[in-house]
Amino acid sequence: MADCKPGPGNLCASAKFPEPEIDLISSLDDRIERAVSFGTLPLLLLWPSLNKKFSIRERYVFLQNRLHIDYYSYALVEMGDRAIIRADSAPHHERDYHRKLLTNFPHHLHDENKRVCSFSGELEDFINLAVPHIR
């Protein structure tokens, strides 16, 4: 990762996302300030021509001098607000659609068939799941 460029641009490159159709960098400073000042980072990647948007929202807390993601919601959404796939850490589900206990409660994914599945809680894993739905 040493030669990676920072920020969402790199997120897109590493995940083979199409280039977002907005100017992300100029709004990034505000987002960073919001995360630093109030502990929440909301980011939105938009592809109007593909009719899709990718929403990331993370809330941070300091525990024992380390930064943790306290709460998050990741979603790939069609314009018009229909979620294609999404993941979050709200403790609403204990079991997946097979009635098996989630392997990493409370993290879970709502797949393209609206089924609840186990999920790692890692943004990178969500991106890898989202990429095939974007093009």
Nearer to another protein, 5 or 66 (CB): 5
Contact between 14 and another protein per CB under 8 A: no
What is the end-to-end Cα distance of the chain in Å, rounded? Answer: 25
Give CA–CA dist 135/131, Å, rounded: 7
> Which one of the spans 83-91, 97-105, 117-125, 127-135 is the region binding another protein (CB under 8 A)?
83-91
Residues 15-34 that bind another protein (CB under 8 A): 19, 21-26, 29-30, 32-34
Of the two residues 69 and 131, which places its CB atom closer to another protein in the complex?
A: 69
CB of 104 to another protein, least distance (A): 17
Q: Does 98 bind another protein (CB under 8 A)?
A: no
